[in-house]
Amino acid sequence: MKKQFRDWSLLRTFLEIARVGSIQAAAERLGRSRPTVANELLRLEREAGCALLIRTPHGVDLTEAGQRVLKIAEGVEDKVETLRQAVSVENQMRSTVRYRGPEGFGGYCLPHLLEGFNGTHPNITVELQCGSLTSRVDLSRREADFTMMYSQPTDPDLSIIRSGSFTWALCASNHYIERHGCPTRLEELAHHSLLVHEIFISDQEPWSRVAGLMRGQPRIALKTASMLVLVRSVLGGIGIGMVPRMLERCQKKLVFLPIEEAVVEVPYWLVCHAEVRKLPSVRAVLDHLKVDMAPCFPSARL
């Protein structure tokens, strides 16, 4: 059979007729009239140069040539389905992946961790919506695709991407240290300007162990509910504040102080909804973060 099929849609019609064993039944499944389906079969037989079906009282039977064309049609169907899935994945990769959660991670850590991601995934937009340290996001209602949590997730529908802990410690900018010196003991903080986040002076765990130390300092120069404001103030040389130690990897101006009494380990869970994780674009972002978080967060666990 050396004839070339010029209209692949005719093979789809033939495939349906062969499967249901009836031109009428095929027309109903394809949502077309019986004359239209019969005409498409006739056109395919003309291109093939021979009869492909034998009409019987019970429907149709395939001729020997029809059996060979059936294999061709099934092969075409497989290729069309492969193409459809490839296009579907490509369309999903042309999308926006949304982070909503604490601004410390979203405002400082994520931009650093996502370095180079756009070069390998130019069709994915990562949208960052940052809130306070205590902000809550309902992933089951699709308020975001992934978030950072500072309390262990209990929802069975959540998928944990990484878990571990942030080490928070006192630090100052190198300019502040040059002007005012570097305190090495807790009591020396009384002679320095302190910058605090509201949560640092609360009794909320795990901050309660340093809350008393912070509240007792006589020179609190700035108090804020924003991690971005706190870090910018530290970088600006206003005073000494507590920030995650991982920031020293992307902020060379920071100098961390050797005051162990003010070191806090804050557990974290990077999570997404289990169903959302199946989306190719979301999976691409999370897989990138898992790899890049490993050197930045040595205590992280899968």
- Mean pLDDT throughout 138-148? 87
Q: Which residues pair with 56 in a beta bridge?
A: 59
Look at the pTM and tell me if it is higher than 0.85: no
What is the rounded distance in angstroms from the CA atom of residue 203 to the CA atom of residue 78? Answer: 62
Half-sphere CA count of 14, side-chain side, radius 13 A: 33
Segment holding 269, helix H or strand E: strand 264-273
- Which residues have C-beta within 8 Å of that of residue 110, sequence separation ≥ 6? 99, 126, 128
What digits encode the pLDDT tens for the residues 9-66?
888 888 888 888 888 888 888 888 999 988 988 988 888 888 988 888 888 888 998 8
- Mean pLDDT throughout 114-134? 85
- Domains assigned to the chain: 8-92 (1.10.10.10), 95-302 (3.40.190.290)
- Mean pLDDT throughout 198-226? 84
Is residue 225 over pLDDT 90?
A: no
Predicted confidence at residue 99, as pLDDT, reads: 93
What digits encode the pLDDT tens for the residues 240-279?
999 888 887 767 889 999 999 889 998 999 999 988 888 8
Task: Report the mean per-residue pLDDT for the chain.
Answer: 84
What is the rounded distance in angstroms from the CA atom of residue 131 to the CA atom of residue 239? Answer: 24
